[in-house]
Amino acid sequence: MKIMKVTDPAFAAYGKILEGFDTAQLLQAMREIPMPESGTAYEPGIASLEACSIFQAFSDRAYGGMPVQVGMCWGYNTKLNCLEYHRDSEVNIGTEDFVLLLAKQDDIVDGKLDTGKVQAFFVPAGVAVEVYATSLHYAPCHTDAQKGFRVAVVLPKFTNTDKPAFTPKSQEDTWLTARNKWLLAHAESSEAQNGAYVGLTGENIDISNDL
């Protein structure tokens, strides 16, 4: 699979690089969180990250004064498995280089998305990127199997917490797996085996041979 850079013009359809954010303190706080032995971990909000001075800048500048949370996704991964989206942008910053696998919401046709539509983008360590609300994404991929990845995940407050209770009135309602989180799973993923909606068709992309 071709891995493009976030400086490539093709990334403009999915997101943009955010300028003027001092990430040094945040990156150090992220490095102090131990890596999992295998697989990936995710926490919507982490106190040590939200204590960093950049937290207010995220709220004021990246989200225009909205209440936000700063969490992290970290571990080891090279596979797509699922794609999710929110009703707003997500900001990502990595302590190490990482790769995002992205697709567009308008690629969903009759509740299905062909993984042939997925694009891969290389994000350098320390660079803040905004992933637009219309861009489907999921766990980052590492570029070095020895180091794995630690990626900050900035979102509006309460995103990815407990799913609201309601009676589904549309197909999209059945894709909701957490608050402000709509998810399409690949049949091979553990999420699908645990009952997530299977909405990805085609190959379950693995970039391990492309790194």
With respect to residue 168, please indicate whether it lies within any of the assigned structural domains.
no
The pLDDT tens digits of the residues spanning 76-109 come to: 999 999 999 999 999 999 999 999 999 999 999 9
When pLDDT is cut at 50, 70 and 90, the band that residue 16 belongs to is very high
With respect to residue 63, please indicate whether it lies within any of the assigned structural domains.
yes
Question: Where residue 49 sits, what CATH number does that domain have?
Answer: 2.60.120.10
Q: Give the whole-angstrom CA distance, residue 148 versus residue 141.
A: 8
Query: Whole domain around residue 12: which residue ranges?
Result: 3-160+199-210
When pLDDT is cut at 50, 70 and 90, the band that residue 210 belongs to is very high
CB 179 within 8 A of CB 87: no
How far does Cα 26 stand from its chain's mean position?
18
Give all strands (DSSP E) within 24-168, no chain letters. 40-43, 68-75, 82-85, 90-94, 98-104, 113-114, 119-123, 129-131, 135-136, 141-142, 149-156
With respect to residue 193, please indicate whether it lies within any of the assigned structural domains.
no
Q: Work out the average pLDDT over 146-165.
A: 98
CA nearest to 98, candidates 194, 205, 5, 191: 5
The pLDDT tens digits of the residues spanning 110-120 come to: 999 999 999 99
pLDDT of residue 98: 98
With respect to residue 177, please indicate whether it lies within any of the assigned structural domains.
no
The pLDDT tens digits of the residues spanning 21-68 come to: 999 999 999 999 999 999 999 999 999 999 999 999 999 999 999 999
How many domains is the chain partitioned into structurally? 1
The pLDDT tens digits of the residues spanning 142-151 come to: 999 999 999 9
Residues in the chain: 211
Half-sphere exposure of 20 (CA within 13 A, CB side): 5
